[in-house]
């Protein structure tokens, strides 16, 4: 039976993925610097072996044969996702991929070198090469997938998501935010008059983070928390490896980072175990993944109700004197700070979408050819001034050179962040309709109901359906901007 052959192939691929994931985690968490060269060699060779195994021509025959076999609904979904992944992996030639990966590695290395100086001119030739190859990639994928070139790229990160669906939602959000941000800033307390009583010992921050992870539902039998330079959530669903980075001067950044990654971790831990070796058993895509991390970070952990429960825990772990004399309002000033800034990753939940939307708009031009790479700094500056009132001209380091995505050839990824934020708000609203005392639960530190809902409606669905289908089944309607907008109004204007 061909389905059985594909099942066996899945186990082999999963084992290689397991090795690749864990080697990446180890590299970030444990590996001494001198181990890097051989690690890179091993990773490259394992990636080649994986690609060879996953794109072998006989797989197309197995898929075609399996489509004629008698399968149940889940098996049919599994076959459809395997076919989708196979099509996506085989629509570029090995030569093209090799050339592109080489260019991306060189461009990323150059970017790392030139970014601190904001040397856009030095970086531009490499970036032009990347954009040329991305256009070519988009064209090649477009032909096979029957999608527009930019949609073919978005589809790599958020399968089923289309520019035509995203654009009106992002437009509505942009219009709202341009009015909302000044309003919300006017209402917020002018200064953060009670500074954090630093330092906060790393061991204490860690204990606090672990306690929060546990309360939120992270399963430490199947995962752990470590330290790395760039926080991430990696590993495999049966063994989720989260990391954070502590600063002794501020406990909030590590704690919020931990809660964000916990959201990713819960999704991974909640995927259906018996399908872990098939694409259908994996997380749906970057937008849905981000919806789960933002659900925990923004919907739960930046709510006032969360801090009603969490503030005593915080004092318990960091010590009574850590934020001496603070009440919850003082804390919420920090948790709810809105402040337009140049850097996306440092942005609050209100200004963040504008960073994403401008990248989404610029990407469309870059992929279509309407925007030349050399014109990016001007276009960037124009949009930053328009959306956030800040200029980045002559500051490429904090402008178009700030993100790793473009230098590494990842176009079509950015929308996921804000789609995720909107999905999280829509999910929260759906849960609250079902359970009007949801905020009361959070204030008691009870996260069972939200986790049960998400397990049933999101995590266990894995990749059985498209992002839109999962969201619609779960919340009763396709993605809307209004829930995110209501969320912001409720939190910052009410």
Catalytic residues: 261
Binding of residue 35 to a second copy (CB under 8 A)? yes
| Closest C-alpha to 394, from 375, 378, 379 | 378
Binding of residue 60 to a second copy (CB under 8 A)? no
Min CB(133)–a second copy separation in Å: 27
DSSP for 162-217, please give it: -HHHHHHHHHHHHHHHHHHHHHHHHHS-SS--S-------HHHHHHHHHHHHHHHT
| Sequence-separated (6 or more) residues with CB below 8 Å from residue 68 | none
Binding of residue 223 to a second copy (CB under 8 A)? yes
Binding of residue 219 to a second copy (CB under 8 A)? yes
* Contact (Cβ atoms closer than 8 angstroms) between residue 149 and residue 133: no
Residues that contact a second copy, how many (by CB under 8 A): 37
Task: Find the farthest-apart pair of alpha carbons in the chain and give their distance in angstroms, rounded.
Answer: 70
- The label of the residue with tokens 């064209």 reads 139
Binding of residue 34 to a second copy (CB under 8 A)? yes
Q: 41 vs 329, which CB is nearer to a second copy?
A: 41
Binding of residue 16 to a second copy (CB under 8 A)? yes
Cα 490 to Cα 165, 486, 494: the distances in Å are 26, 6, 5
- The label of the residue with tokens 């790392």 reads 112
Binding of residue 229 to a second copy (CB under 8 A)? no
Neighbours of 460 (CB within 10 A): 12
- Contact window for a second copy (CB under 8 A) among 221-229, 248-256, 280-288, 366-374: 221-229
Binding of residue 46 to a second copy (CB under 8 A)? yes
* Contact (Cβ atoms closer than 8 angstroms) between residue 224 and residue 26: no
Binding of residue 11 to a second copy (CB under 8 A)? yes
Neighbours of 179 (CB within 10 A): 9
| Closest C-alpha to 20, from 234, 285, 286, 242 | 234
Sheet containing 223-227, strands listed edge to edge, beginning at the edge strand earlier in sequence: 223-227, 239-244, 233-236
* Contact (Cβ atoms closer than 8 angstroms) between residue 204 and residue 221: no
Min CB(243)–a second copy separation in Å: 12
Q: 9 vs 169, which CB is nearer to a second copy?
A: 9
- Which secondary structure element, helix H or strand E, spans residue 358, and what is its range? helix 352-368
Binding of residue 211 to a second copy (CB under 8 A)? no
Q: 98 vs 490, which CB is nearer to a second copy?
A: 98
Binding of residue 30 to a second copy (CB under 8 A)? yes
- Contact window for a second copy (CB under 8 A) among 16-24, 186-194, 254-262, 447-455: 16-24
Min CB(26)–a second copy separation in Å: 6
* Contact (Cβ atoms closer than 8 angstroms) between residue 411 and residue 366: yes
Min CB(207)–a second copy separation in Å: 17
DSSP state of 464: S
Binding of residue 49 to a second copy (CB under 8 A)? yes
CA dihedral 389, 393, 398, 400 (to 10 degrees): 100
Neighbours of 41 (CB within 10 A): 10
Neighbours of 43 (CB within 10 A): 15
Q: 41 vs 378, which CB is nearer to a second copy?
A: 41
- Contact window for a second copy (CB under 8 A) among 39-47, 206-214, 371-379, 478-486: 39-47
Q: Which of 7, 14, 65, 250 binds a second copy (CB under 8 A)?
A: 14
Q: Cα(first)–Cα(last) distance of the chain, in Å?
A: 61
Binding of residue 45 to a second copy (CB under 8 A)? yes
Min CB(398)–a second copy separation in Å: 34
Min CB(48)–a second copy separation in Å: 8
- Contact window for a second copy (CB under 8 A) among 24-32, 291-299, 390-398, 428-436: 24-32
Q: 11 vs 434, which CB is nearer to a second copy?
A: 11
- The label of the residue with tokens 């204007």 reads 493
| Closest C-alpha to 205, from 227, 173, 187 | 227
- Contact window for a second copy (CB under 8 A) among 45-53, 98-106, 128-136, 437-445: 45-53
- Contact window for a second copy (CB under 8 A) among 8-16, 63-71, 246-254, 304-312: 8-16
**In whole angstroms, what is the distance from residue 242 CA to residue 264 CA?**
9
Binding of residue 370 to a second copy (CB under 8 A)? no
Min CB(226)–a second copy separation in Å: 8
154, burial (CB in 10 Å: exposed 0-12, middle 13-18, buried 19+): buried
- Contact window for a second copy (CB under 8 A) among 34-42, 72-80, 288-296, 483-491: 34-42
Min CB(340)–a second copy separation in Å: 41
Binding of residue 32 to a second copy (CB under 8 A)? yes
* Neighbouring-strand partners of residue 247: 250
Binding of residue 19 to a second copy (CB under 8 A)? yes
Binding mask 259-288 for a second copy (x = CB under 8 A): -----------------x------------
Q: 122 vs 272, which CB is nearer to a second copy?
A: 272
Please give, one letter per residue, the 3-state secondary structure of 213-255: HHHHCCCHHHEEEEECCCCCEEEECCEEEEEECCECCEHHHHH
Q: Which residues bind a second copy (CB under 8 A)?
A: 11-12, 14-16, 18-19, 22-23, 26, 29-35, 37-39, 41-42, 45-46, 49, 219-224, 226, 235-236, 238-239, 276
């Amino acid at each position: 039976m061909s389905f059985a052959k594909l099942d066996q192939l899945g186990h082999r691929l999963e084992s290689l993925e397991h090795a690749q994931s864990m080697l990446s985690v180890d590299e970030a968490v444990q590996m001494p610097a001198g181990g890097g060269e051989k690690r890179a060699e091993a990773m490259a060779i394992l990636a080649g072996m994986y690609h060879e195994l996953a794109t072998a021509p006989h797989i197309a025959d197995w898929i075609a044969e399996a489509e004629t076999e008698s399968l149940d609904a889940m098996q049919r979904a599994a076959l459809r996702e395997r076919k989708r992944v196979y099509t996506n992996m085989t629509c570029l030639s090995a030569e093209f991929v090799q050339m592109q990966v080489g260019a991306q590695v060189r461009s990323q290395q150059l970017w790392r070198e030139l970014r601190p100086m904001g040397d856009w001119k030095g970086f531009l030739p490499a970036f032009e090469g990347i954009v040329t190859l991305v256009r070519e990639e988009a064209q090649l994928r477009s032909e096979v997938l029957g999608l527009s070139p930019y949609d073919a790229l978005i589809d790599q990160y958020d399968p089923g998501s289309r520019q035509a669906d995203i654009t009106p939602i992002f437009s509505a959000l942009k219009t709202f935010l341009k009015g909302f941000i000044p309003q919300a800033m006017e209402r917020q307390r002018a200064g953060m008059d009670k500074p954090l009583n630093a330092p906060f010992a790393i061991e204490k921050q860690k204990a606090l983070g672990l306690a929060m992870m546990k309360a939120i539902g992270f399963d430490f039998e199947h995962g752990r928390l470590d330290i790395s330079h760039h926080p991430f959530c990696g590993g495999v669903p049966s063994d989720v490896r989260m990391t954070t980075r502590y600063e002794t001067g501020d406990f909030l950044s590590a704690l919020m980072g931990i809660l964000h990654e916990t959201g990713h971790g819960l999704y991974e831990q909640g995927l259906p175990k018996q399908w872990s070796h098939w694409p259908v058993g994996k997380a749906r895509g970057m937008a849905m993944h981000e919806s789960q991390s933002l659900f925990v970070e923004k919907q739960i952990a930046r709510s006032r109700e969360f801090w009603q429960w969490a503030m005593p825990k915080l004092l318990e772990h960091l010590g009574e004197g850590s934020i001496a004399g603070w009440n919850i309002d003082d804390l919420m000033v920090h948790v709810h700070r809105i402040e337009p800034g140049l850097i996306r990753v440092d942005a609050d939940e209100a200004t963040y979408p504008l960073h994403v939307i401008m990248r989404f708009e610029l990407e469309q031009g870059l992929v279509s050819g309407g925007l030349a790479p050399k014109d990016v700094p001007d276009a960037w500056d124009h949009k930053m001034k328009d959306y956030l009132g800040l200029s980045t001209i002559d500051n490429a380091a904090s402008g178009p050179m700030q993100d790793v995505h473009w230098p590494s050839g990842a176009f079509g990824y950015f929308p996921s962040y804000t789609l995720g934020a909107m999905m999280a708000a829509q999910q929260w609203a759906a849960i609250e309709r079902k359970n009007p005392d949801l905020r009361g639960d959070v204030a008691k530190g009870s996260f069972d109901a939200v986790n049960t809902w998400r397990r049933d409606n999101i995590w266990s669905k894995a990749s059985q359906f498209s992002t839109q289908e999962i969201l619609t089944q779960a919340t009763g309607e396709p993605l809307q901007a209004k829930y995110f907008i209501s969320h912001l109004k409720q939190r910052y204007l009410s």
